[in-house]
A and B are shown apart, each in its own frame.
Chain A
Amino acid sequence: MAINELSLDQQGIILLAALVLFSSFSMLAQPRLLSLVNTFALQGLLLSATTVLVALVSGHHHLYLSALLTLLLKALLIPWMLRRLVNRLGLHGEIEPLERPNLVLLGAAALVVFCYYVSLPIVQLSTMLTRNTIAISMSVVLLGMLMMIARRQVVAHVVGFMSIENGLFFAAVVSTYGMPMVVELGIAFDVLVAAVLFGVFFFHIRESIDSLDVDRLNRLSEVER
């Protein structure tokens, strides 16, 4: 289907979804921690905007509530917490360059293609307005994982973790117009608790290894030292 055959609403949803995916890519290669957190907040904002548009087009009103929840949690509260932690840990000037950025970004592009391939059977079954973006939601999940693999800094890991959650939420919105409210509230609660615990851990990790580089968490193995 060519893009000009789609309705304007659908084109809008695809545009926003593409921007969400773009924010994932830009997080992957962003070396400055504060900019990383800001990009994450932007992704939350875009996600929430997409949800509002989907709610408008599909007429599923409970999605407004999900959009609000996402806005508060993913675009405001968690980025605020992360920014505060980065400042309190004195990391605001910290630059963590990605090793082999070309390889990682090419790998990320390959993952997106892979997601389009995997989601083909789902897309064929769906009759929803948003079906073209299911692959994008899956890509956001996998790019979040790739980010956790490629980067070394704990703050980057947490942003990757939260961006996986973003991808999952996006998947629920575009493939089924959201999950039942009780489940969404539960997930939001879990994410919030996880964010608080991550904050606690930053301090513990720094206290114990005097750094926030996960490569230095390497004491536990089967090999006796």
Chain B
Amino acid sequence: MNPIFPVLLIPLLGVPLLLLIGHSRRAAQVNVLLNVAGFGASLWLALEVHDRGLVMSPGRQLFVDAFNVYLIVLTTFVGMTTAIFSAPYMEHERQRGRVNQRRLQLYHASYQGFMLAMLLTLSTNNMGVMWVAMEGATLATVLLVSLYRTPESIEAAWKYFILCGVGIAQALFGTVLLYFAASGSDVPAEDRLLWTVLHAHSPSFDPVVMMLAFVFLLVGYGTKVGLVPLHNWLPDAHSEGPTPMSAVLSGLLLNDALYAVVRSKMLVDGALDSGLPGHLMMGFGLLSFLVAVLFLHRQHDIKRLFSYSSIEHMGLMTFAFGIGGPLATFGALLHMTVHSLTKSAIFVTVGHAAQLAGTQKIDHIRGLIRTQPAIGWGLLLGTVAIAGFPPFGVFTSEFLLLSATMKSWPWLVVPLLAGIAIAFAGLFRYIQPMVYGAAPEGQQPIRANMTAVYLHLLLVLWLGLAIPGPLARWFGEATTLIAGSSPL
């Protein structure tokens, strides 16, 4: 059997299965099992890709190379750890009366639907199917954002639905233009949306149409990356949905949308030699980075705080992919990994902290270390990691990005460094009183499962100290695919 199929089949079967048994108490365990199986399947796929270099399905509709295989492994891994966290967390929410059994059924089925959409986005070779899957990811999560049915959560879900729906419609227009550009060349009609075919033939496409297509694709998928000025949905959707959703949205969905942008850029770069797509990405990336960094300073909700931090990091990655070049691309790939590991760990911790304090308001979360050291330290270490302190992996990737910027655009290092400093200040002015300080009267420890958090942080620490050889080779290969040569 082709090793791509099980990765997609497991969530595909998971959706109807969890719709059927979702109302029973076992559903959470089944969800965990499905995700563990999915992770196993993705490891098998990774081994195959490692041996063969490229895995393609017989009809060429699915393909996995060094670039997307690591994102697939990352997606299934974060999906698995989040599912492990989500089981007791959602049970706790049910006991608090915020959700009922029927909504949990919807929750679990949507969780698998979301994983399916993500994995299909990553593994498809067809740019049209990629769009369909990306839209599917919105549809699968939109009811989860409004799971608690509070006025705020419904507003957030509506915004998410409309903004992402309209935004991603632009990407479909871009896809039509790609198809149009390909119809002017000698590519056979049924292959005109296959990424591998388009990539091979892109030098013969009309540059003006390709540029137009890229603008639409960037705006469309950029909405889902959370690029400023199309970011308004992101803090709302991340803060109002249940915490496991915030973790997978921030850790996975944003990465996958960026993946779609980078794949589009690879196509367009072949047809153009002006480097304009890269410059557009640099501009959008830098703008998002700076705006998000400033917004970090006026937050009242802990999840919104970290949502803006996600926009900041996605901006940084978009900027790095925009610079191009082997070093920047390598840094961006590493940053995608460490950001999604760290950010999902932080959201899990934040979820526990919010349950402990009974609110998401920053002003009312106090003395976490006093009450429950595991959560307090988890939040502190996670924030230290995401702010880019050595020896965590985020430091390594940001250092690589800065050195790459220094090489090709030395002046841009100034806003980047200033932004990183402002972000650090923005995060710590809020985190410090939450973590330290006296605990409010009667704050009791809760049952918390912090294994996933510390596992993620350990991995990020490991990536910061020494990137294991096989992983570095993987990143190197992916960099060669995107940027033409490897910095290793």
Contact = CB atoms under 8 A, between A and B. Distances in A.
Interface string B181-202: 0011000001011000000000
A171 interface: yes
A220 B154 CA distance: 11
A217 B159 contact: yes
B136 A190 contact: yes
Contact of B149 (A180, A183, A208): A208
Interface stretch (B70-78, B204-212, B400-408, B422-430): B204-212
Given A161-B165, A190-B139, A197-B139, A122 B152 contact: no
Q: Of A154, A171, A217, which is in contact with the most chain B CB atoms at under 10 Å from its CB?
A: A217
B176 interface: yes
B56 to A, nearest CB: 16
B100 interface: no
A98 interface: no
Given A141-B169, A182-B126, 16 more contacts: A125-B184, A171-B173, A176-B180, A176-B183, A179-B175, A179-B193, A180-B190, A183-B128, A190-B132, A194-B139, A194-B165, A201-B154, A207-B149, A209-B154, A217-B154, A220-B155
Interface in A141-200: 141, 145, 148, 154, 157, 161, 164-165, 168, 171-172, 175-176, 179-180, 182-183, 186-187, 189-190, 193-194, 197-198, 200
Q: Which 10 A-B pairs have the closest CB atoms?
A: A183-B128, A186-B132, A208-B151, A217-B155, A121-B208, A190-B135, A220-B236, A208-B154, A175-B180, A176-B179
Interface string B329-360: 00000000000000000000000000000000
B150 interface: yes
B128 A168 contact: no
B143 A197 contact: yes
B439 interface: no
Nearest to B193: A180
Contacts of A224: 300
A126 B184 CA distance: 8
30 contacts: A121-B212, A122-B180, A125-B209, A141-B169, A148-B166, A161-B162, A164-B166, A172-B176, A172-B179, A176-B179, A176-B192, A180-B126, A180-B128, A182-B126, A183-B128, A186-B128, A190-B132, A190-B139, A193-B136, A197-B142, A197-B143, A200-B143, A201-B154, A204-B149, A208-B150, A209-B151, A209-B155, A219-B152, A222-B298, A224-B300
Contacts of B176: 168, 171-172, 175-176, 179
A118 interface: yes
A194 B217 CA distance: 21
Contact of B169 (A118, A164, A209): A164
A189 B235 CA distance: 28
B416 interface: no
B475 interface: no
Interface residues of A, number: 45
B132 A183 contact: yes
A205 interface: yes
A122 B156 CA distance: 38
Contacts, number: 133
B240 interface: yes
Contact of A220 (B61, B135, B139, B240): B240
A123 B4 CA distance: 40
Interface of B: 61, 126, 128-129, 131-133, 135-136, 139, 142-143, 146, 149-152, 154-159, 161-162, 165-166, 169, 172-173, 175-177, 179-180, 183-184, 190, 192-193, 206, 208-209, 212, 235-236, 239-240, 295, 298-300, 304
B244 to A, nearest CB: 20
A125 B210 CA distance: 12
A120 B193 CA distance: 23
A125 B185 CA distance: 11
Interface of A: 118, 121-122, 125-126, 138, 141, 145, 148, 154, 157, 161, 164-165, 168, 171-172, 175-176, 179-180, 182-183, 186-187, 189-190, 193-194, 197-198, 200-201, 204-205, 207-209, 214, 217-220, 222, 224
Given A161-B166, A168-B169, A197-B143, A219 B212 contact: no
Contact of A168 (B146, B173, B193): B173
Contacts of B206: 121, 125
Among B143, B151, B175, B298, which residue has the most Cβ atoms of chain A within 10 A?
B151
Nearest to B184: A125
A196 B261 CA distance: 29
Contact of B129 (A161, A182, A217): A182
A189 B113 CA distance: 14
B136 A204 contact: no
A183 B235 CA distance: 31
Nearest to B132: A186
A154 B155 CA distance: 12
A118 B152 CA distance: 39
Given A122-B180, A148-B166, A168 B172 contact: yes
Contacts of A145: 166
B193 A183 contact: yes
B212 A118 contact: yes
Contacts of B157: 201
A116 B83 CA distance: 50
Nearest to B61: A182
B161 A197 contact: yes
A205 B172 contact: no
A222 B183 CA distance: 47
A200 B143 CA distance: 9
B173 A141 contact: yes
A187 B151 contact: no
A176 B321 CA distance: 31
B139 A122 contact: no
Contact of B161 (A121, A165, A187, A201): A201
